[in-house]
Amino acid sequence: MDIRSLRYFIAVYEERSLSAAAKRCFVAQPSISTSIAQLEDDLDAKLFVRHSKGVSPTDNGTQLYPHACKMVGDLSAMRNLFVDSPTPLSLSISLTPFLSGSLISQVIKTMLNKIPGLTLNLVDESESADLRFTCGRYTTEEDIFYPLWEDDYVVAMPLDHWLTDFASISIKQIDKQPFISRTPCDILESWNYLMQKQGLTTDIRAQVKTEEYALDLVAAGLGISLIPEHSSRGRNDLCLRPLNDVKLKRVVGLAHRKEQSFPAHLINTILTAKQQLKINKSVIEPKLA
């Protein structure tokens, strides 16, 4: 019976779903599941009935909800007992769907942990926001950019492709291969230049707009493609291999306009979040010759 359980409870109650609550709390779904089960055990009362499309609160759950809200509210009020200016810092951050959700979660989680009273509003990249997750290449002189991690471009191919026999792949092996091209792509020009320089060509079978669609086509066997590594996580229907003679990458981070200023501890938090990031590489990098 701790505060964390109550926070999760509130999220579940409001979302009417464990999975949605998990997303909102930036944790995995089983954490919510066990935490709610434990709370039900402590209180000796079922709080939700589970069904196929989520959960609905029982009478007990409905009764508990306002108490839980008050509790959590009181606790965060206590935080601010000794701060002179309450400064209820509120930020909007825009996300692009093709960036690694796992890494972005980690960053947002440390921000929420380290900055008491921070409320975040996550919006789509189309909307304007105080901060945005983006690639270094998409920032201008008007921006300040805090790099967070690097995303290597790797070759994505169907599971049964003959190139899977190689632990890493040379750009020459891609010559004349069926290829899924993707625009916009921030390394398209570099890629084309590299191919031309070596007199190589690809057999472009499809031209798509999003990484996810490109991955679907690769999995379907239409060809191979070049995709940032972290975008293709969690798919076991295709195979990734690093390039061994060229290294293409993008730098992902947080950017904001130069004019905009933020409290120093926010910036510090971004930097420490970078330190603490746990990056699970799914492919083993070859040593560049």
Partner DNA sequence: CTAGTGGTCTAGTTTTTACCTATAGCTTGT
Partner DNA sequence: ACAAGCTATAGGTAAAAACTAGACCACTAG
Shortest approach of DNA to residue 225 CB, angstroms? 20
Using rule CB under 7 A, residue 278 touches DNA: yes
Which of 6, 18, 171, 243 contacts DNA by CB under 7 A? 18
Separation of alpha carbons 263 and 20, rounded Å: 31
CB closer to DNA, 102 vs 139: 102
Residues from 131 through 170 that contact DNA (CB under 7 A): none
Contacting range for DNA; rule: CB under 7 A; set: 30-38, 78-86, 163-171, 172-180: 30-38
Which of 43, 54, 65, 187 contacts DNA by CB under 7 A? 54
Contacting range for DNA; rule: CB under 7 A; set: 34-42, 119-127, 162-170, 205-213: 34-42
Separation of alpha carbons 283 and 153, rounded Å: 11
Residue keyed to tokens 């690093």: 242
Which one of a copy of itself, DNA, none is in contact with 82 (Cβ closer than 5 to 8 A by kind)? a copy of itself
Which of the 8 DSSP states describes residue 138?
A: G
Separation of alpha carbons 64 and 58, rounded Å: 10
Using rule CB under 7 A, residue 197 touches DNA: no
Q: Which string of x and - marks every residue 32-71 that binds a copy of itself (by CB under 8 A)?
A: ----------xxxx--------------x--xx--xx-xx
> Could you tell me which residues come within 8 angstroms of residue 70 by beta carbon, excluding any fewer than 6 positions away?
none
Which of the 8 DSSP states describes residue 171?
A: G
Q: Is 104 helix (H, G, I), strand (E, B) or coil?
A: helix
Which CA distances in Å does 191 have to 50, 128, 198, 283? 50, 31, 11, 20
Residues from 79 through 98 that contact a copy of itself (CB under 8 A): 79, 81-83
CB closer to a copy of itself, 70 vs 137: 70
Radius of gyration over every alpha carbon of the chain, rounded to an integer in angstroms: 23
How many Cβ atoms sit within 10 Å of the Cβ of residue 252? Answer: 22
Q: Which residues bind DNA (CB under 7 A)?
A: 2, 4, 17-20, 26-31, 33-38, 50-55, 102, 234, 278
